Chain A
Amino acid sequence: MAQDVVTILGIWVAALYTLFTFSYIYKENPLYRFAEHTFVGAAAGHFVVIAYQNILSKGWYPIVSKGQYVYILSMILGLMLFSRLSKKQAWISYYPLALLVGVGTALAMRGAVQAEFLAQIASTITPLYTLNWKAFDDFVIALTVISALVYFLFTVEAKGPLKTPVAYLGKIGRYLLMIGFGAQFGATVMTRLGFVISRFQFLLFQWLGLG
């Protein structure tokens, strides 16, 4: 019985917050701001709880349960981050940030070369001498990739005999990119409608009990 009351109360609270947030499409109002600030507080509180849980499991647990005392250094570095809140002492936070940036940048770079650069170029360069639909698709892919990259060339200006072909190739790239952006717009419509539909499903079926 108590469980049912708690569940029903939860549904009503969620429904009210949903309606308060939807009220923004009419105009910004205090109910929307109330919901917005609830979300900000909830998200911030959740961050702190998750941070606490992870500091214990990833930092504290190896020290006390496994005797891995080197993690004391990681805990000290983590605490040094909070000096960022003070303008005068913010320099103390540069050390843990330097470690994070050094490790993260290396991981991104070493992965990007293979995954985003070489592999993508390799799959663009394919045989085009066969007369079938796959070769046509591969030709369009190669043309789009090359012309779009030429369109993005802003660092060096094409001069002399190269100027006109580069300009035309860039224009072709621009048009082909527009097709891609149109497709993304179509996909965006589906995503946003999906979010609205899920909220309406909740309001109609769980809150109002229709259907």
Chain B
Amino acid sequence: MSNKEKTLLDKLQTIDPRIVYGLLIVALIAPLLSPLGLPLKITPVVQKFYQTVESLKPGEIVFYSFEFGAGDYPEAEGAGIAVKRHLFAKGVKIVFSTTNDQAVLVLLKSLQSAGIPPDKKYGVDWAFLGYIPGAETAIAALATDMHATAKTDHYGTPIEQLPLMKQVRSIKDVSLLIVEGGGTETPTKFVRQWYAPYKVRYLQICISVVGPTLEPFVGAGQIIAMVVGASGGAQYELLIKRPGIAVAGMDAQAFGHVLVIMFIIIGNAAYFASKRGRR
């Protein structure tokens, strides 16, 4: 191989990263501006999550722990909104809570985006216990006695004054636990403090990077099913027949993934070609 070709291959391997960034920006923006509407496949695990929520009867109590901070919420935003819409449509009673201080306002924004149906009254059909400090201690205490732990709701109303909370004292009154977010740590704490002693039915919404780390709990039957990341969210939006931000972002996800795979292939091709040239 000639010296000029070797230099080109070496240059190809060490391209200016800003060119890579520029290509990524173009690959993500183009499908957002001109969506292709690429088809999506519903996976069995999202279907199982959907069926579990679908099997709920009106009046059953769902405890919904929302644990996303402001920064890591976007990838699962579509999933969260879709699940909340599904729950409100089922007529179940929902008790929201969080052990993440930033999650308070992120949850309220998510509820606003989901759109609470006008016939769902605060304090009767749903309630928000607010942020409870203490992480695992708070999670364990909520299972034992929600009234003694929360004391007031997020708005400062004594908890015993909420009609819904007259029916909900502890985990024994809860039909289903849904945890949205929390990385790996918070779901692990819920498995330890809610599933292990009380065997509550448990569904999880999380971002893609967290999904594999929670698979052992799904494999052991401790978590029934998970909706994972943008892809899971897009599938759930299709299942409830209300496509939203997750579906809208899937074309860009596809293009971004293709670009990263091409980068790996081209980078390695240039590397091996230049290695062979040197021999």
- Does a CB–CB distance below 8 Å link A and B in the complex? yes
Query: In the complex, how many residue pairs between chain A and chain B have their CB atoms under 8 Å apart?
Result: 151
Q: Are B193 and A194 in contact, CB atoms less than 8 angstroms apart?
A: no
Interface string of A113-157 (1 = CB under 8 A from B): 011100110110000000000000000010000000000000000
Nearest chain B CB to A123 CB, angstrom units: 4
Q: Is there contact, CB below 8 Å, between B208 and A111?
A: no
Map CB proximity to B onto A162-200 as digits: 1 under 8 Å, 0 otherwise: 000000000000000000100110011111111111111
B250 to chain A, nearest CB (A): 9
Out of A193, A198, A204, which one reaches B256, CB within 8 Å? Answer: A193
Count of interface residues, chain B, beta-carbon cutoff 8 Å: 58
Q: How far is the CA of A188 from the CA of B207 in the complex (A)?
A: 9
Contacts of A191 in B (CB 8 A): 75, 207-209, 229
B131 at the interface (CB under 8 A from A): yes
Query: For residues 214 through 245 of chain B, which have their beta carbon under 8 Å from a beta carbon of chain A?
Result: 216-217, 219-222, 228-231, 245
Is the Cβ of A120 less than 8 Å from the Cβ of B137? no
Do most interface residues of chain A lie in helix, strand or loop, or is the interface mixed? helix
Chain A residues positioned under 8 Å from B1 (CB to CB): none
Query: Measured between alpha carbons, how far is A120 from B214 in the docked complex, in Å?
Result: 12
For B100, the closest partner residue in chain A by CB is A50
Query: Per-residue CB proximity of A89-132 to B under 8 Å, as 1/0?
Result: 00000000000100110011011101110011011000000000
Cβ–Cβ contact B133 & A115, under 8 A: no
Tell me whether A26 and B18 are in contact in the complex, defined as CB-CB below 8 angstroms, given that A116-B188, A196-B28, A204-B33 are known contacts.
yes
B249 touches A50 (CB 8 A): no
- Chain B residue numbers with a CB within 8 Å of A119 are 196, 220, 222
Residues of chain B lying within 8 A (CB to CB) of residue A110: 192
Asked whether A120 lies within 8 Å of B75 as measured between CB atoms, the reply is no
| B75 and A194 contacting across the interface, CB-CB below 8 Å | yes
User: How far is A188 from B252 in the complex, measured between Cα atoms in Å?
Assistant: 16
Q: Report the minimal beta-carbon distance from A190 to chain B, rounded to whole angstroms.
A: 4
Stretch at the interface among A4-12, A29-37, A54-62, A79-87: A54-62
Besides A119-B222, A188-B209, 10 more A-B contacts (Cβ < 8 Å) are: A26-B18, A43-B102, A61-B158, A111-B196, A111-B197, A116-B191, A188-B208, A191-B207, A194-B208, A201-B248
In the complex, the 3 A-B pairs of residues with the closest C-beta atoms, listed nearest first = A111-B192, A194-B75, A198-B74
Between-chain CB contacts (< 8 Å), 7 pairs: A46-B101, A115-B217, A120-B220, A190-B75, A193-B28, A194-B74, A204-B33
